[in-house]
Amino acid sequence: MFNNKDMKEIIQYEAQKLLLVLEKARCRNLPGFGNDELLLSAEEEMQRCIDALKSNDFSPYTHEIAAILHARKLDFEEGSAQYGLFCRNLLKAKIQACRVEIQRCEGDYDNPFDQLITPNIFQPVHPELPKSVQVVEAEEKEPGKTLSEAIDSFMTAKSAKSPSTLKNYNSMNKLLLKILKDKPINQYDYDDLLAVRSILEQVPKKATSMKSMANASIDEIITMENPGELFSETNVMKYLTHMNTIFKFFAKRDWVKDSIRPEWEMSRDGKKNQKKLPFDSTDLQEFFTSNHYKSPRVRYTSPENYWCELISLLSGARVDEVCQLYKEDIVKINGILCFDINDNGDKKLKTPNCQRKIPVHPWLIELGLLDYIKYVKGNRLFMKLKRHKDYGYSHDYDKNINKYIKRHVKNYEKKSFHSFRRSFASFLKQKGVHNEESGALLGHKPANEITEGYAGEYPVNIWLETIKKLDFGFDLVKTVGKWDPVVARRVARKK
């Protein structure tokens, strides 16, 4: 029988776990867990809790609370008095934890919790750091490193990143080294880094891919004949952000002062042009009724052109996550069919936060996904997609599908395959789904460190109810038409 004592113990444990996780992260000097970031997160989270208690509206915390209850095998009916009492007590505990964290950020550790745990903070009996936190141990202070040597250290620390990300880093590193020159990193100052932007704005877009420019100096690159189109503002910001990431890495090891990093801002027009747009209802109907998509040859001889768009639209999965699916990644959890998004074997993920289990939308089952899984030969869902050593299974598919989108969607500007994923989030938002809920489904990192300390794996039954709220303004199943294994065999025989 669950009683008030049980409730108190659970809530105390959750609050203490959060405080311990944050202090461990601070002790290990982890990126993103500095005093400024933690203070801001604690203040914002405390205000959110206060607002929720005032309004008695716990919807922003629905999934967080569900995860805690699920972990404890508690079944409180949402809206019941017991559920409301649990929510209110949890938020009160979070407010207390936030106040302790704010004190910590000001150097004040005079609170009962820290007095209790300080002597034993690193004993393994306490909760461990979240898996999403990657610890990079501080290296010895080496102020004499040259920029190229320091960048090598950065790349070694980031070696767990995907091959495509590392390749992208190396490409940016080469150009930044040309601009900044290779000198001891303690000789760089704010003005050196500030000047990089104006130089990047003069770099021809094609220069980074030209073999003839591989050994050219930066002066030769920006004065080349027939330069063509220059770096876009988005591209310039990508390099500046990468440079800041590198120098933040250096500052964490006391190789440089953190104050030498400028704060870059994109213009208003640049921000508008940077992100891909979601599809609206008209766009989706145009694509799914196009001759290309309806063609039996396309959907049955290259079934990835039928399923990948639908899976992304109805699950929010990234193009890589969809294209690399294996049959064994379709799993049942508590009787609910799910996509298990993981990096097992030859698969890769953008970040550790991307690991998740997304319920299969009932519409996909209506459209014949289970029939397709039985039909396809081999251990992967899309056997025609070949793995690229740097870009995974989506490389060729992504290029081709974007051409079809441009051809069959009238309003195609700033739209690509990624727009299916953006549409998933956009249509859920129209149905009142909170950003944190859809963000967890999309594999985003929690909004702040305070939330991350509480977050657990959300119960798939709740996620299923969330994705069933999707409504595109037309009958998707009827418009798309079911995938038929009988027709697939007939088409295969004709080949």
Q: For 110-150, what is each residue's pLDDT tens digit? A: 776 666 555 444 444 444 444 444 444 434 444 478 999 99
Supply the pLDDT for residue 158. 87
Looking at residue 33, what is its pLDDT?
62
**What pLDDT is attached to residue 464?**
94
Q: What is the pTM of this model?
A: 0.56
Confidence at residue 132, expressed as pLDDT on a 0 to 100 scale:
42
107 and 175 together in one domain: no
Residue range 282-300, pLDDT digits in tens: 999 999 999 889 888 888 9
Residue tagged 């299923």 (tokens): 464
| Boundary of a domain, candidates 120, 138, 164 | 120
| pLDDT (average), residues 249-278 | 74
**Residue 495 burial (10 A CB sphere; 0-12, 13-18, 19+):** exposed
| 465 occurs within a structural domain | no
pLDDT of residue 379: 94
Tell whether 378 is covered by a domain. Answer: yes
Same domain flag for 357 and 422: yes
* 299 and 425 part of one domain: yes
CATH for 324: 1.10.443
Are both 269 and 287 inside the same structural domain? no
Mean pLDDT of 432-447: 81
- 485 shares a domain with 360: yes
Whether residues 98 and 205 share a domain: the answer is: no
User: Do residues 190 and 224 share a domain?
Assistant: yes
Please say if the pLDDT value at position 381 is more than 90.
yes
pLDDT of 448-467, one tens digit each?
Answer: 544 444 444 568 898 999 99
Between residues 59 and 147, which one has the greater pLDDT?
147
Confidence of residue 30 (pLDDT cuts 50, 70, 90): low
Do 19 and 157 lie in a common domain? no
**Lowest mean pLDDT segment, chosen from 143-147, 241-245, 329-333, 393-397:** 143-147
Residue 142 in any domain: the answer is: no
- Residues 39 and 103: beta-carbon distance below 8 Å: no
Query: Are residues 196 and 310 both part of a single domain?
Result: no
Average confidence (pLDDT) over 343-354 = 85
Looking at the structure, tell me whether residues 211 and 356 fall in a common domain. Answer: no
Q: Are 425 and 438 in contact (CB under 8 A)?
A: yes
- Residue 198: CB atoms within 10 Å: 9
**pLDDT, mean of residues 60-83:** 82
The percentage of the chain sitting over the pLDDT mark of 90, rounded to a whole number, equals: 33
pLDDT tops 70 at residue 206: yes
Q: How confident is the model at residue 31 (pLDDT cuts 50, 70, 90)?
A: low
**Confidence at residue 2, expressed as pLDDT on a 0 to 100 scale:** 67
What does the pLDDT average to over 176-198?
Answer: 89
In a domain, 141, yes or no: no
For 348, the domain range is 281-431+470-494
The tokens of 422 are what? 């953006």
The CB density around residue 240, as the number of other CB atoms within 10 Å, is: 21
pLDDT of res. 484: 93
Please write down the HEC assignment for all residues of the chain.
Answer: CCCHHHHHHHHHHHHHHHHHHHHHHHHCCCCCCCHHHHHHHHHHHHHHHHHHHHHCCCHHHHHHHHHHHHHCCCCCCCCCHHHHHHHHHHHHHHHHHHHHHHHHHCCCCCCHHHHHHHHHCCCCCCCCCCCCCCCCCCCCCCCCCEHHHHHHHHHHHCCCCCHHHHHHHHHHHHHHHHHHCCCEHHHCCHHHHHCHHHHHCCCEHHHHHCHHHCCCCHHHHHCCCCCCCECCHHHHHHHHHHHHHHHHHHHHCCCCCHHHCCCCCCCHHHHHHHCCCCCCHHHHHHHHCCHHHHCHHHHHHCCHHHHHHHHHHHHCCCHHHHHCCEHHHEEEECCEEEEEECCCCCCCCCCHHHCEEEECCHHHHHCCHHHHHHHCCCCECCCCCCCECCCECCHHHHHHHHHHHHHHCCCCCCCCCHHHHHHHHHHHHHCCCCHHHHHHHHCCCCCCHHHHHHCCCCCHHHHHHHHCCCCCCCCHHHHHCCCCHHHHHHHHHHC
Cβ contact 395:388 at 8 Å = yes
Structure confidence at residue 28 (pLDDT): 64
pLDDT in tens, 161-178: 878 888 889 999 999 999
**According to the model, what pLDDT value does residue 472 have?**
96
127 found inside a domain? no
Domain boundary among 222, 240, 274: 274
Same domain, 178 and 90: no
The count of domains in the chain is: 3
- Do 189 and 57 lie in a common domain? no
